[in-house]
Amino acid sequence: MKETRERRVVYGLRPVMEAVRSGKDIEKILVQKGLKGELAQELMNAVRERACPVQYLPAEALQRLFPQANHQGVAAYISPVPFQSIDAVLPQVYEAGRVPLVLIFDRITDVRNFGAMVRTAEGAGVDAVIIPAHHAAAMNEDALKASAGALLTVPVCREANLKTAIHFLKASGLKIVAVTEKGSTPYTEISYKEPTAFILGSEEDGVSPEFLKLSDARARIPMAGKIESLNVSVANGILLYEALRQRAETL
């Protein structure tokens, strides 16, 4: 393992295998395209089982990244952020007597936006942030810095399938609210006093259509200017503090 200023890196088939099997929180695994062999296949099976994000690179690209390492076609970045599972976190929230407030990030890949959103989430008392295993912001020191350390406080649940996670939340009594400029209901006209999960989508495309279909409500933030939508981090803050305001009325 090599320590860098931003990331810890594990090289080689067996060391990466051990990192995966021992439950290390892995940000991403880099794999040489066309890598073959029994051990490589065994590793990829373990990677799929744990839903670790994988990026395939040409051999020369991997060599450029790690010119001095005997990487054997594989390297893994170890995340500074611990990952949890929503099916383990949510029961604890209910057992503690809290009304769950959860965030679901759909393809939010900008590290600074992501970190700022988790920082706001911590301030608003969010119980968990759910991210997909793929198409999510890098879990590195930049994200940690942008969150002002909140990524070490708010449970981050990396799920292999967001659709499955949403179904779990719905079955657990949470109202799913998609935040979208295409929504028909102003965000202040929706109740967040009951268990609630907000879905926020990418800057480019917003919330995925399949998740919009699963939502119980679609919250719209009214705009008075010519720009149709807000930065996702700003929208995140507006919704969370409206939820906080409504819940304060019941205390």
pLDDT score at 250:
63
pLDDT score at 162:
95
pLDDT score at 3:
41
- Tens digit of each residue's pLDDT, the chain (251 residues): 444 334 588 989 999 999 988 888 888 899 999 999 999 999 999 988 888 889 999 999 998 988 888 899 999 999 888 899 999 999 999 999 999 999 999 999 999 999 999 999 999 999 999 999 888 998 888 898 999 999 999 999 999 899 999 999 999 999 999 999 888 899 999 999 999 999 999 888 899 999 999 999 999 999 888 777 789 999 999 999 999 999 997 65
pLDDT score at 53:
87
Q: How far apart are CA 207 and CA 128, in angstroms?
A: 19
Domain annotation for the chain: domains and CATH numbers: 2-78 (3.30.1330.30), 83-249 (3.40.1280.10)
pLDDT score at 109:
92
3-state DSSP percent of the chain in helix, strand and coil, to 5: 40, 25, 40
pLDDT score at 1:
44
pLDDT score at 141:
84
User: What separation in angstroms does the CA of 103 have from each of 35, 59, 131, 196, 237?
Assistant: 37, 38, 9, 9, 11
Q: How far apart are CA 191 and CA 175, in angstroms?
A: 10
Q: How far apart are CA 7 and CA 241, in angstroms?
A: 33
Residue count (the chain): 251
The strand pair at 175-179 and 101-106 is best described as: unpaired
